[in-house]
């Protein structure tokens, strides 16, 4: 299945978007874009670079089922040892999280987006992650991340 993440806000504090998977639409929250020394942005601090990715189910050490993104052409690998020169980003995940503090270079999905005390949140992230797992059925997919029309 082709999944699309259209980003509608790139701010100094976060990156916000809408994830379309099947007939479902979810909100996303990531860290802001921070250019790194190598392709892919700054490891563990930047949002995911715009582009197309392979997306596959991944089980975290705590047992959580999530999705991992990879595209070596964009400087993003699945595992640390996959990087041919030891540089670039790895283990970028779509996983539960409600604020940018909950993700270190990953994507947090939610049912809705709210602002509280001048901070952006996505809501019900664990429930949303379960919905995404249900829609995608654990198989491999393609994810296109792009700026929404008029966004830069």
For 56-140, where are the alpha helices, taking DSSP H only? 125-136
Tell me: the pLDDT tens digits for 82-100? Answer: 998 888 999 999 999 999 9
String of DSSP letters for 21-77: ETTEEEEEEEPPP---SSTTSSTTTSPPPSEEEEEEEEE-TTS-EEEEEEBGGGTEE
User: Once rounded to an integer, what is the mean pLDDT over residues 126-130?
Assistant: 96
pLDDT for 17 beyond 90: yes
User: Does pTM top 0.75 for this prediction?
Assistant: yes
Distance from C-alpha of 130 to C-alpha of 71, rounded to nearest angstrom: 24
What pLDDT, on a 0 to 100 scale, did the predictor assign at position 152? 65
Tell me: the pLDDT tens digits for 52-61? Answer: 999 999 999 9
Residue with tokens 């916000």: 16
């Amino acid at each position: 299945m082709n999944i699309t993440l259209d980003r509608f806000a790139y701010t100094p504090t976060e990156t916000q978007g809408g994830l379309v998977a099947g007939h479902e639409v979810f909100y996303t929250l990531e860290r802001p874009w921070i250019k790194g020394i190598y392709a892919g942005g700054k490891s563990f601090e930047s949002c995911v670079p715009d582009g197309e990715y392979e997306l596959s189910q991944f089980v975290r050490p705590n047992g959580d089922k999530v999705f991992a993104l990879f595209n070596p052409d964009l400087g993003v690998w699945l595992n640390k040892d996959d990087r041919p020169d030891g540089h670039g980003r790895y283990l970028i995940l779509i996983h539960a999280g409600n604020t940018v503090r909950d993700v270190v270079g990953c994507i947090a999905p939610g049912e809705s987006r709210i602002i509280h005390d001048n901070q952006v949140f996505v809501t019900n992230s664990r429930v949303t992650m379960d919905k995404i797992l249900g829609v995608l059925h654990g198989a491999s997919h393609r994810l296109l991340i792009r700026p929404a029309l008029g966004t830069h």
